[in-house]
Amino acid sequence: MTNNIVILGSINVDRILHIAQLPQPGETIKMTQLDLAAGGKGANQAVAAARSGAATTFIGAVGTDAEGRMMHEQLVANGINVDHVAQVADMVTGQAYILLQAGGQNSIIINAGANALVSPALVAQSEAVFEQADFVITQFETPVAAALAAFDSARDHGVTTILNPAPASDQPQDDLLRLTDVIAPNETESARLTGIKITDAASLTASAAYFHQRGVKAVIITLGEQGSFLSYAGQEQRVPAFRVDAVDTTAAGDTFIGAMVSQLRPDLSNLVAAMTYASKASALTVQKLGAFPSIPTEKAIQSFGQSAQQR
C-alpha cells in the first residue's frame, strides 16, 4: 500500500558554511568551503517521504526569484505534487545558513522569506488534497495558524496528523496538540515545549505524559546517537540508532520523519517497524553533505538494512 501524504511546511535554500568550530563572541573565523543545497524542514520531509515511495503533496510558498524556481524544479524532480506551492511576487524564497563544524554538528540561522506567508487561506485553497490523504505533517518553520488550519481539516476528513515541533518553541501549543495524533520532537525541542529536560528514562516518561495529557496519542522523541523513544498505548520502547560516522547532521531529523511516515500505517499499528526504517534512513543521511543530496531512496535504505548494526 502506498501512503498518501500531505506536508505543510517550509522551503529553503541552504547555504552550508564549513567551519572548524563555532566562533566565540567578537571572533572572526574563516570558512573552509561554501555549498549550496535545496532544503527546508518541510521540503526535506517531503523528499524523504517521496524517495521512500509515498505519494506526496506539498503546501507551501516560494518567491518568484531564481531560488524559488530552483526549489520548485527540485520538488517536481522528486515526484512531489507542487500544485499547492504558491509563488509569491516581491518576496525572497526562504534561506537557511548552516554553520557546519568539522565534527559534523550544525547550527542553523533561518530567514523565513515566503515561508512566513503560508496561511490558513492557502490551506483552505488546498482543501481537496485532505480528502485523499492518509497523513498530514507540519513543523514550526511556517506560521502556526496555517498548521492549525491544516490539522483542523485533517481531523474533519479522518486523517492522521503528525507534528514535528521544530524549530524549538517555548510558547504553549495546546490548541495544536489537541489536534495532533503523533508528535516527534528531538530532545531539545521536547524540553522547550514541556519544560522538562531529558536526562534519563524518568524524564522521557514525564515528557511523554505532558503530551499525552494534551491529547497526543503517540509520542516519539529522537535522541541522536541514542536512537529514539516511543510512548504509545500505555507502552514505552526505545529504538536504537545505527552505527555510522557522521559527516553532516543536516536533515537527519527530517529524513526520520518523512521516511517513517512513508512506511507507517494510518492506524499506527507498525510504529516500531516504521521508526526502525526511519533510523536506517537517518543513518544514511548523516554520511553525506547537504539536505536534499543526502536523503536516501527506499532501495538504499533496504540495502543498508541488510548490513547495518544498531548501537
3-state helix, strand, coil in the chain (%, to 5): 40, 25, 35
How far is the C-alpha of 108 from the C-alpha of 304, rounded, in Å? 28
* Beta strands at 33-39 and 55-63: parallel, antiparallel or unpaired: unpaired
Mention every residue, 6+ apart, whose C-beta is less than 8 A from residue 180: 151, 161, 162, 163, 215, 216
Question: Looking at the DSSP assignment, which residues form a beta bridge with residue 36?
Answer: 15
The pLDDT value recorded for residue 309 is: 62
Q: Which CATH superfamily is domain 4-22+32-305 in?
A: Ribokinase (3.40.1190.20)
Is the model more confident about 245 or about 81?
81
How far is the C-alpha of 177 from the C-alpha of 174, rounded, in Å? 5
Whether a cis peptide bond, with omega within 30° of 0, leads into 172 is: no
Express each pLDDT in 82-137 by its tens digit: 999 999 998 999 998 989 998 888 888 989 999 999 999 999 999 999 999 999 99
Express each pLDDT in 29-62 by its tens digit: 999 999 888 889 999 999 999 999 999 999 999 9
* Average pLDDT of span 289-307: 83
Express each pLDDT in 158-199 by its tens digit: 999 999 999 988 888 999 999 999 999 999 999 999 999 999
* Average pLDDT of span 277-283: 94
**Catalytic residue positions, numbered:** 254
- Binned at pLDDT 50, 70 and 90, residue 305 comes out as low
The pLDDT value recorded for residue 131 is: 95
Question: Which residues are annotated as part of the binding site?
Answer: 12-14, 40-44, 141, 186, 222-227, 248, 250, 253-254, 285, 288, 290, 294
Question: Which residues are annotated as part of the binding site for ATP?
Answer: 186, 222-227, 253-254
Q: How many helices and strands in the chain, by DSSP H and E?
A: 11, 13
Question: Looking at the DSSP assignment, which residues form a beta bridge with residue 264?
Answer: none
Cell representation of residue 239: 529504538
Map out the domains of the chain as residue ranges: 4-22+32-305
Question: Which residues are annotated as part of the binding site for substrate?
Answer: 12-14, 40-44, 141, 254
